[in-house]
Amino acid sequence: MYVDCHVHFWRLDRGEYQWIPTNNKILAQDWLPAQLKPLLDQCVVEGVIVVQAASTVAETDYLLELAQIHHWILGVVGWMDMAGATFEYDYDRLTRNPKFAGIRLNGSVFQESDARRTKLILNRLLQLEADEFPIDLLARPHELANVHRMLDHVPGLKVAINHLGIPPMLETSGKLLYEQWEAMMGLLSSFPQVMVKVSGTITQAGGFHPHVLKRCIDYLTTTFGPQRMMYGSDWPVALQGGSYDDVIRLFQKVLPQNWNEDQLNAVRRMNTKRFYAV
């Protein structure tokens, strides 16, 4: 049995998804809970964490509405402006909803040059740390050094690094960039509250290609171990690389063959439930 820590829903007529190319035949359509539920049942997935796909509080509210309707949506990782004037109001309001499970930030948030804004963001991260409220982090290798510097100030912050930290898996990416990713992920693993999502794998690998993932997965399983990794599909974005069943099979294929059932169960479902308190 699984819990999927990373799925998205969107309805295009809401007008919040400008990042989706209009010529992308897979993504440029509505993707809603009714389309995902049969796939979850087929693959024995008991529930999901829905992650924001638009940088608005309005979309967070929309996803929370879906979570009230569909009990198998265990939690919502939404969006908030960490330096916005309404942060305190929105945070207080949203955290009253038991399905509000986290906030997703982009790595660029920590590249601010404005000292006042940087201090404001840090103070709010300190609040999240004190509340034990998680953040999801979508950061590329060149942004991980800034993430590391931020965690020096909030070492107890609960962080889920999305999509393996977006490693440069293809040979054309270059050795130096891979070494940068490996070094930074190693440093981030020293913070005990940092988790890594085994998500976005089939898209990054360009399909069902376990050999493409092997090097980075081997490094992460050694560095983070089975108690700090979580299964995520990144549906429907993952459909660009294969079916939902393909994502599950790829996940099973790349994990260490010597992990026992307790270790596998931790990564499949229990770590996600613990991290998001769902």
pLDDT digits (tens, 9 = 90+) for 212-239: 999 999 999 999 999 999 999 999 999 9
Q: What is the CATH number of the domain that holds 73?
A: 3.20.20.140
pTM value surpassing 0.85: yes
Q: Is the pLDDT of residue 30 over 90?
A: yes
The residue type of 182 is E
pLDDT of residue 114: 82
Q: 135: domain range?
A: 2-276
Report DSSP state, residue 31.
Answer: B
Work out how many domains the chain is built from and give that number: 1
pLDDT of residue 105: 97
Enumerate the H helices of the chain as residue ranges. 33-42, 57-69, 87-94, 115-131, 144-153, 175-188, 201-204, 210-223, 244-254, 261-265, 271-276
85 forms beta bridges with none
b/e 174-199 (16+ beta carbons within 10 angstroms → b) = eeeebebbbebbebbbebebbbbbbb
Number of residues that this document lists for the chain = 278
Arithmetic mean of pLDDT over the chain: 95
Average pLDDT over residues 129-151: 95
- 3-class DSSP assignment, residue 26: coil
Please, which pLDDT band fits residue 115 given cuts at 50, 70 and 90?
Answer: confident
pLDDT of residue 170: 57
- Angstrom distances, CA of residue 269 to CA of 73, 106, 124, 233, 246: 14, 25, 29, 12, 18
pLDDT digits (tens, 9 = 90+) for 45-93: 999 999 999 999 999 999 999 999 999 999 999 999 999 999 999 999 9
pLDDT digits (tens, 9 = 90+) for 168-197: 875 555 677 888 899 999 999 999 999 999
